[in-house]
Structure 1
Amino acid sequence: MRSLRIHPHLHDVFGEEQPLVFLLAILLFGIGVAMVFAFSAWPLLVSLSWWRAVLALVLVLDIAAGCVANFTPSTNRFYAARPRNRWIFIAIHVHLVAVALLLGVDLGAPIAVWAYTIAAAVTVNLLAGHAAQAFVGGLLLAIGLAGLPLLPDLIPAMAAASGLFMLKVLFSFAVDHYRHS
C-alpha cells in the first residue's frame, strides 16, 4: 500500500505518514458525516449566520474524521511516542460544546457528554501500557453510548455528533491500539 509523507504541521492529525487509501477514507468519512449532520440539522443551520453554520460543520467534520484517523497505526504511533501530546489533545477537545454553542442548542447534554468523555479519556490514558486499557476504554465508551438516549433535549444531529465525539476522544484516541505491534 502506497504511503504519503505527511507535512510536519499535520503530524498531530495524521502521524508522520499514511497510506493514501487511509487518507481518502478519513476525509470521505468526515465529509460524509458532516453532510448527514447538515441534512439532519438543516432547519437549524439555515437560521444561523453562514459563518456559524460553516464552523459547526467543520467541527463536526473534524470529530468524524478524527474517529477514523486516530485508529490508524501512524497516528497511534505518533502519540504513543509523545505522551505529553496525547494529554494536550485530550485537554483541548471542546469541539462538541463549541458545536452546540454555534448552533444555539441547549448546552446541558453536550456539556454532560463532554465532561464524561474527558473524564473517561483521562482514566483510559492513565492506563497507558496496561493490558486492560482497551477493555476499560471499550467499557467506558459503551456506558457513554448507552447513556446518550437518556439525555434530555438532545436533537438527533447532536446525538450522532456526541457518539462520534466519545468514540474519537475516549476510545479511538486515548487507547494505544497498536502497542504490541
Structure 2
Amino acid sequence: MKYFKTPEFLFEVLGEKQSLLEVGCTLVFALVGSWVIYLVAGVELDNWKSMLAFLVIADVLAGCIANFSYGTNEYYSQRPKNRLIFIAIHVHILAVAWLLSEPLDSAMIIWGFTIVSAFIVNALKGTRIQCFIAANLMCYGILLLIYLPLSNWFLMVSAFFLIKVLFSFSVDHFGKQAER
C-alpha cells in the first residue's frame, strides 16, 4: 500500500504518513455514519447546538476508523504521553449529550467506563493480553450500553465512542508484543 506524508496539522488525527485507502475509508464512514445517525435521531440542523453535535459525532465516527490505521497507530505508539492526553480529552459523548439534550447521567456512566477502561488497556501496551483485555472490556461496555435507557441514535453514537476510545485508540495494533 502506498503511503503519503500527512500535513503536519493533521498528525494528531492521521499520523505522519497515511494511505489514500485509509483516509478514504475514514471519510466515507464518518459521512455515511453521521447521515444514518442523523436520520435515526430526527434532529433538525437548524441551530448551532445541533450542528456542533453532528460535527462531534462525525469526529467520533472518523476516529473510530482512523485510529485503526497504521499511520495513526504508529504516531501514538511512539508518543505514549500524547496517547494518555488523547484518551483524557475525549469528552465527546458528554458534549453530544449536552448539545442534544440526552441524559447526562447516562453519558457520564458511558464516559467514565470508557475512559477508565481505555487507561487500563493503554497500561497493557506491549503485552500479548492487551487486545484480549480491550475486547473483554468492550464487550462489557456493550452490555452496559444495552442496559442503559438510551435512545437508538445515542446508543449508536455511544457504541462508536466506546469502540473509538477503548479498542481502536487504546490498543497498539501494530506494535511488537512482549513475551509477558
Same fold (TM over 0.5): yes
The amino acid of 2:40's aligned partner reads S
Unaligned ranges ≥5, structure 2:
none
Q: Count residues in correspondence.
A: 177
Q: Offset of 1:4 from its aligned partner?
A: 2.3
Q: Offset of 1:107 from its aligned partner?
A: 1.1
What is residue 28 of structure 2 aligned with on the other side? 28
- Is 1:130–2:133 an aligned residue pair? no
- Is 1:170–2:166 an aligned residue pair? yes
- TM (norm. structure 2) is 0.95
Distance 2:100 2:119 in 1: 28
Distance 1:142 1:173 in 2: 16
Q: Which aligned segments of 4 or more residues in structure 1 are displaced greater than 6 angstroms?
A: none
Q: Offset of 1:112 from its aligned partner?
A: 0.6
Q: Offset of 1:84 from its aligned partner?
A: 0.4
- Is 1:161–2:161 an aligned residue pair? no
What is residue 115 of structure 2 aligned with on the other side? 118
Q: Offset of 1:49 from its aligned partner?
A: 4.9
Residues 60-81 of structure 1, C-alpha deviations (whole Å, 9 max, x = no match): 1110110110001111100000
Write out aligned runs for 1:5-154 (5 A). Answer: 5-42=5-42, 45-46=43-44, 49-152=46-149, 154=150
Residues 29-80 of structure 1, C-alpha deviations (whole Å, 9 max, x = no match): 01111111111111xx22x752111111111111011011000111110000
Unaligned ranges ≥5, structure 1:
none
Is the partner of 1:138 in helix, strand or coil?
helix
Calculate percent identity across the aligned residue pairs: 40
Distance 1:179 1:2 in 2: 20
